[in-house]
Amino acid sequence: MPPEHERDFVEYVTTRMPRLHRAAYLLCGDAHRADDVVQATLTALYVHWPRARAADNLDGYVHRILVRRYLDEKRLGWARVALRPGAPDVTAPAADGRVEDRDEVTVALRRLPKGQRAVLVLRFFCDLSVEATAQALGCSTGNVKSQSARGLAALRAVFGEPHPAAGGKS
């Protein structure tokens, strides 16, 4: 890879690494598996960097790789082996300092089907638009909207919040 491409790659990865790891953690629910998914994503990105930097939406391109690596990792037999019981102790506080809320959301996300979880993570934690999420997942915008609606309804049920259309105004 030419030196200028290498610099661009390093700069991109350096600025995006925290968001990629957070998205991977929200998908996996495990910090160590998230590290593996991010590493596989960055390896694939490095291999395809000339094509990736020419993409219209580089972040969408990378999120698509991330979700695919997560789904591929889930299909592997060793991913079902539990080396220790329970989740690792992750001490980073939530944005408002409430670790309990972050943990509840993480547990609730783990209960969702893979597709709904991927859509919600990309839409609401990675701040992607419906169109960018559809592009990252390789699906239609209608699919993103329906998966979002179902996923949000499932999360509302877990947290005991009424659906906005059901007359429960806050």
Alpha helices in 29-140 (DSSP H): 31-47, 49-53, 58-75, 99-111, 114-120, 130-137
Our count of domains for the chain comes to 1
- Asked if 41 and 65 touch (Cβ cutoff 8 Å), the reply is yes
Give a yes or no: residue 169 inside a domain. Answer: no
What CATH number does the domain containing 46 carry? Answer: 1.20.140.160
82-100 pLDDT, tens digit per residue, is: 545 554 444 444 455 555 5
pTM: 0.59
Q: Which amino acid is at 84?
A: R
- What is the DSSP code string of 140-153? -HHHHHHHHHHHHH
Give a yes or no: residue 129 inside a domain. Answer: yes
Give a yes or no: residue 36 inside a domain. Answer: yes
30-47 pLDDT, tens digit per residue, is: 888 899 999 999 999 999
Per-residue pLDDT, 77: 56
